[in-house]
Amino acid sequence: MNEKLKKYSKTENFEVVDTVGVPHPYCITPKHISAATGGILDEYAIEQAEKKGAKCGTKGCTLSFREHQHGLFIKCKVEDQKALHEYLMSIKDMAEADGYVGFAFIKGW
């Protein structure tokens, strides 16, 4: 788990387990790979590749790398909407301060 996510409270029924791309993950293309210097494809390399015409590989996407945002991915043990609402409200301010724009959920444990 990402160290940044460990600060989010874990309860018996809910746990932040990862982040998820919004509206989708940024998809790397061969143009990005060819623009990587020294074999390192970091944020700087992606942005440099975009200056040379590389774009997100998701069909129809016109968003830049920086325009792709992230939400929190939450594992839910129960389908109790009231309990989920309470949990989300308990982490909402922290999530907003960290720049997350929403939540995605997975049922199971």
What average pLDDT does the segment 82-88 reach? 96
What does the pLDDT read at residue 34?
Answer: 86
Eight-state DSSP code of residue 27:
P
pLDDT, one tens digit per residue, over 33-42 is: 988 877 789 9
What average pLDDT does the segment 47-63 reach? 95
Res 104 pLDDT > 80: yes
Element (H, E) at 15: strand 14-22
Domain ranges of the chain: 1-23+68-109, 27-67
Terminal-to-terminal C-alpha distance of the chain: 16
Return the SS3 of 37.
strand
Residue 30, preceding bond cis, omega within 30 degrees?
no
For residue 49, count other CB atoms closer than 10 A to its CB.
Answer: 21
Q: CA 81 to CA 22: how far, in whole Å?
A: 23
What does the pLDDT read at residue 109?
Answer: 62
What does the pLDDT read at residue 39?
Answer: 79
Q: CA 86 to CA 67: how far, in whole Å?
A: 29
Eight-state DSSP code of residue 78:
S
Q: What is the pTM of this model?
A: 0.77
